[in-house]
Amino acid sequence: MSEELYKEMAQSIIDGDSDIAIELAKKSIELKMHPLETITKGFVIGVNYIGDQFGAGEAFLPELVMAGEAMKAAVAVLEPELLKLGEAREMMGKVVLATVEGDIHEIGKTLVGTMLSASGFEVVDLGVDQPADKIIGKALEINADIIGMSALLTTTMVRQREVIEELDKEGLRPRIKVMVGGAPITRDWVTKIKADGYSEDAIGAVKIAKELVGKADQ
Amino acid sequence: MQPKLNLLDEDLNGRIIEEAFQLMLKPGIKVQNAEARSLLAEAGALVDEETLVVKIPGQIVHKALETVPRQFHLYDYDGNPKVQYGGDAVQFDPGSSGVTVLNPITLEHKTAESEDLIRIIKVAESLPQYDAQSTAVVCHDVPKDLHDLYRLYLVMLFSKKPIVTGAFSNTTVHHMIDMLAIFAGGRENLREHPRAIFDVCPSPPLIWSNFGAGNLITLARAGVPAEIVSMPLAGAASPVTLLGSVTQHAAECLSGITIHQLAHPGSPIVWGGAPAIFDMRKGGTPFGAVETGMIDSSYAQVGKSLGLPTHAYLGATESKLLDTQAGLESGVGAMIGALSGINMISGSGMLDSLICQSAEKLVTDAEGVAMAKRMVQGMKVHTETLATQFYEGVNFKGGDFLKQKATMQLFQKEQHMPSKVIDRDSMRGWRESGSMDTFTRAKIRVDEILAAYRRPELDIAKENELHAFVLDLAQKAGVEHLPMLEDFQPV
């Protein structure tokens, strides 16, 4: 019975169908299935599948985004049940995401946020045009493992360095790792500003984030 | 007859404009600049100071469309009108604001510096295909605060052509206008004979940022032409449908023109853009995609139907090298732009989705631009009879026509003579001249151009005034000297 349901759950994520994902999550609660197992044996399988398909060039960004959204919707239904059990889904890590000050581009960053949370990270997305002190402040507030910064403009990518310098000054690294991304970001730049990780796309970003929290194999 | 590509019928064109007007009311336009909001409010728009969303009624927009100039020119250093904005004039300039340049030897994309920009300016100056210069790359050997205006400084020192540029902040736009005014002999003369046009970008979807709207207002008041570069990103920052994106483009441009004309009615402004489809595999912005060209062509048609001058970003590629993909995407893009009668087509020289400039690509793209320009000249009637008069004394022999006076007189009018970048040689000839591919030939052409280039003779007093102006800004930004330039020593 539950095997069949797990399959349907994975499929709802693959189809990017939030409504069905929510319905199945509710059904699992009625059936008194363990919420954690529902997530890991059901929904996560769908996310992983879409991620692999995307990596292989068989799935595309709209499918990835919709899968991420469906995952979020399902987890939102199951999380209160986990709390009731006094359990929490073991999170991969905590991430603060932001587009740097002076830059309002957010498509890529939002995509990274969706994929990170679908992959089990707790993500706080501060949005766009965020100054260094706000980014660092939030990271300290939630005890973040990773700060992820996006910049699309050559004129604003320098802000990524400012945040890193500030973190170094405060002695907050290597406790807080820094990932950067955005169209003008090159490996040279990443090395120059001494960021910890960089990826060209959202799936790559999940891989890097897992490495940075020492959970590359999960 | 100038051949034209028309992707929209009249009905569709009308629907785009109608829905664009609807978008300006619902959801409205987010205007993050206080002065722009008060201009709109005074004119009768409904402003929500909480959300910064402005609902702009049609009559305000129509009024702006009545005052906006249908045509204007950009002038060269000597004061000659060289670029015509308006009508179906088709002109090209190199792509702007690249971050890197292609190193032709190592094939690396290296961070651009002064010498790289100068190299590109020299090449663009020497190629008649480019009607204007652009401020093609950002020079990373000067402080960030100078990035926009320093590009203009170099173009002004190394070129006489009109300039397509842009400012990176509300402060530097004033400095850049002042720089142009030094060469023009004052702000009034600059208004009369503008040499440069400034790109100003709304932020998709339907946002005029503080910076964008602020620059629109500054440029309108200075009477220096503005070029709206609206960038719908079909499927991400605008509707996935090409027509939906064309409509969003129209709403962003119409609202921009309204702010601009409210600030100063009659100031010149261009209906332009750099839209792209959103690549669903890589999340990129493919400027070489045919659908990107279709959005450009369509919005240009909409702009023309409103009587406005037009601009688009075409002729660029996603390719990282000067290879087959670069050639085909750039050539197809240039042709689409030209056939759409777009007044200024920016993008030549660009690789890697507008990130990397290449002098070698500029000389190659110049051949595609020449082909596109030849195409829009269309089929010309040079002679009284189309053919019959050519047959007197023709004895059914191949080669007879080569002996005709008309052939000698007309062949250069009918045929564009490509540079040596284009290979039309025999196999034997090609082998004997080194079996070179396009990229190798382009490198040789760049070297030839650079060897023949001489910096134009400019008014020395004005040059020094310009240098002093920029040096002062550099010192305020914390550097003692500007980078040394080989051909220019200020006194």
A158 contacts in chain B (CB < 8 Å): 144
pLDDT of residue B228: 98
Inform me whether the pLDDT recorded for B399 exceeds 70.
yes
> pLDDT tens for residues B284-309?
899 999 999 999 999 999 999 999 99
> For residue B289, which amino acid is it?
A
* Cα–Cα dist B321/B443, whole Å: 13
pLDDT of residue A216: 83
Return the SS3 of B179: helix
DSSP run (H or E) holding A178:
strand A177-181
Among B196-200, B225-229, B347-351, B395-399, where is mean pLDDT lowest?
A: B395-399
* Cα–Cα dist B373/B377, whole Å: 6
Is residue B88 included in any domain, yes or no? yes
Q: Are residues B283 and A61, on separate chains, in Cβ contact within 8 Å?
A: yes
Is residue B218 included in any domain, yes or no? yes
* Cα–Cα dist B229/B232, whole Å: 10
Q: Are residues A60 and B280, on separate chains, in Cβ contact within 8 Å?
A: yes
Is residue B471 included in any domain, yes or no? no
> pLDDT tens for residues B139-166?
999 998 999 999 999 999 999 999 999 9
Residue B77 belongs to domain spanning: 1-379+418-462
Q: Alpha carbon of B99 to those of B319, B354, B446: distances in Å?
A: 15, 8, 20
> For residue B399, which amino acid is it?
G
A107 contacts in chain B (CB < 8 Å): 233, 236-237, 278, 283
Residue ranges in A85-175 assigned as alpha helix (H) = 107-118, 132-141, 158-169
> For residue A113, which amino acid is it?
G
CB atoms within 10 A of CB B462: 15
Reading the block at residue A1, the tokens are 């019975």
Determine contact, residues B81/B109, Cβ cutoff 8 Å: no
Reading the block at residue B10, the tokens are 């009249």
Identify which of B138, B236, B283 has the shortest CB distance to residue A154: B138
DSSP run (H or E) holding B464:
helix B460-476
* Cα–Cα dist A203/B450, whole Å: 44
DSSP string, B195-237: -EEEEE--BTTTEE-HHHHHHHHHHHHHT--EEEEE--EETTT
A99 contacts in chain B (CB < 8 Å): none
Q: What is the mean pLDDT of residues B216-229?
A: 98
Nearest CA in chain A to B203: A104
* Cα–Cα dist B135/B139, whole Å: 10
* Cα–Cα dist B215/B33, whole Å: 10
Return the SS3 of B292: helix
Nearest to B329 by CA among B354, B300, B310, B359: B354
Inform me whether the pLDDT recorded for B342 exceeds 90.
yes
DSSP run (H or E) holding B259:
helix B242-263
B146 contacts in chain A (CB < 8 Å): none
User: What are the E-state strand segments in chain A?
Assistant: 93-99, 121-125, 146-150, 177-181, 197-198
Q: What is the mean pLDDT of residues B23-43?
A: 98
pLDDT of residue B193: 98
Is residue B405 included in any domain, yes or no? no
Question: B313 has which bridge partners?
Answer: B346
Return the SS3 of B322: coil
pLDDT of residue A1: 63
Determine contact, residues B69/B266, Cβ cutoff 8 Å: yes
pLDDT of residue B57: 98
B235 contacts in chain A (CB < 8 Å): 62
Q: Are residues A104 and B203, on separate chains, in Cβ contact within 8 Å?
A: yes
Give the distance from residue A94's alpha carbon to the nearest chain B alpha carbon, in angstroms. 25
Question: B73 has which bridge partners?
Answer: B84
B179 — pLDDT class (breaks 50, 70, 90):
very high
B29 — pLDDT class (breaks 50, 70, 90):
very high
pLDDT of residue B233: 96
To probe the interface with B, which of A155, A186, A189, A190 has the most B CB atoms within 10 Å? A155
> pLDDT tens for residues B461-488?
999 999 999 999 999 999 999 999 988 9
A202 contacts in chain B (CB < 8 Å): 283
Nearest to B261 by CA among B39, B42, B54: B39
* Cα–Cα dist B440/B421, whole Å: 9
Q: Alpha carbon of A143 to those of A93, A123, A140, A172: distances in Å?
A: 10, 12, 5, 11
* Cα–Cα dist A72/A119, whole Å: 10
Give the distance from residue B147's alpha carbon to the nearest chain A alpha carbon, in angstroms. 8
Q: Are residues A184 and B280, on separate chains, in Cβ contact within 8 Å?
A: no
* Cα–Cα dist A160/B341, whole Å: 42
Nearest to B124 by CA among B341, B311, B350: B350
Computed over its alpha carbons, how large is the radius of gyration of chain B? 23
User: What's CA A175's distance to the chain center, in Å?
Assistant: 19
Determine contact, residues B281/B336, Cβ cutoff 8 Å: no
Is residue B485 included in any domain, yes or no? no
pLDDT of residue A31: 94
Q: What is the mean pLDDT of residues B442-465?
A: 97
DSSP string, B69-125: -S-EEEE-TTS-EEEEESTT--EEEE---BSEEE-TTT--EEEP-HHHHHHHHHHHH
pLDDT of residue B359: 98
CATH number for position B360: 3.20.20.480
- Taking phi over 0 as left and psi of -120 to 50 as alpha, with beta for the rest, B354 belongs to left
Determine contact, residues B211/B254, Cβ cutoff 8 Å: no
Instruction: Give the list of residues 6+ apart from residue A178 with CB closer than 8 angstroms, or none.
Output: A146, A147, A148, A149, A160, A163, A164, A167, A195, A196, A197
Reading the block at residue A144, the tokens are 């973040």
Instruction: Give the list of residues 6+ apart from residue B441 with CB closer than 8 angstroms, or none.
Output: B420, B421, B423
To probe the interface with A, which of B168, B208, B320 has the most A CB atoms within 10 Å? B168
Q: What is the mean pLDDT of residues B380-391?
A: 96
ipTM over 0.85: no
Number of domains into which chain B is organized = 1
Q: Does A62 touch chain B (CB under 8 A)?
A: yes
* Cα–Cα dist B342/B299, whole Å: 10
* Cα–Cα dist B111/B79, whole Å: 34
Full set of structural domains in chain A with CATH: 2-84 (1.10.1240.10), 93-212 (3.40.50.280)
Determine contact, residues A44/A72, Cβ cutoff 8 Å: no
User: What's CA B134's distance to the chain center, in Å?
Assistant: 7
Instruction: Choose between B388 and A120: higher pLDDT.
Output: B388
* Cα–Cα dist B177/B198, whole Å: 10
Nearest to A119 by CA among A54, A75, A150, A77: A75
Size of interface A-B (CB pairs under 8 A): 40
pLDDT of residue A111: 87
pLDDT of residue B489: 87
Q: Are residues B283 and A62, on separate chains, in Cβ contact within 8 Å?
A: no
Phi, psi of B357 (to 5 degrees): -100, 150
Phi, psi of B74 (to 5 degrees): -105, 145
In chain B, DSSP finds a helix count (H) and a strand count (E) of 16, 20
Instruction: Give the list of residues 6+ apart from residue A34 with CB closer than 8 angstroms, or none.
Output: none
* Cα–Cα dist A49/A15, whole Å: 11
Give the distance from residue A37's alpha carbon to the nearest chain B alpha carbon, in angstroms. 31
Identify which of B144, B203, B235 has the shortest CB distance to residue A158: B144
Nearest to B318 by CA among B276, B259, B373, B269: B276
Is residue B209 included in any domain, yes or no? yes
Q: Are residues A201 and B353, on separate chains, in Cβ contact within 8 Å?
A: no
> For residue B359, which amino acid is it?
A
Determine contact, residues B351/B320, Cβ cutoff 8 Å: yes
* Tens-digit pLDDT string for chain A (218 aa): 689 999 999 999 999 999 999 999 999 999 999 998 999 999 999 999 998 898 888 999 899 899 999 999 999 999 898 888 877 777 899 999 999 998 888 888 988 998 898 888 999 999 999 999 999 999 999 999 999 999 987 778 889 999 999 999 999 998 999 999 988 888 888 999 999 999 988 888 999 999 999 988 77
Q: Alpha carbon of A77 to those of A19, A45, A87, A89, B269: distances in Å?
A: 11, 17, 15, 13, 52
Residue ranges in B378-437 assigned as alpha helix (H) = 405-414, 427-432
pTM of the entire predicted model: 0.91
Determine contact, residues B365/B354, Cβ cutoff 8 Å: no
* Cα–Cα dist B39/B18, whole Å: 23
Q: Does A61 touch chain B (CB under 8 A)?
A: yes
Is residue B250 included in any domain, yes or no? yes
Instruction: Choose between B271 and A117: higher pLDDT.
Output: B271
Give the distance from residue A197's alpha carbon to the nearest chain B alpha carbon, in angstroms. 19
Give the distance from residue A203's alpha carbon to the nearest chain B alpha carbon, in angstroms. 11
Inform me whether the pLDDT recorded for B425 exceeds 70.
yes
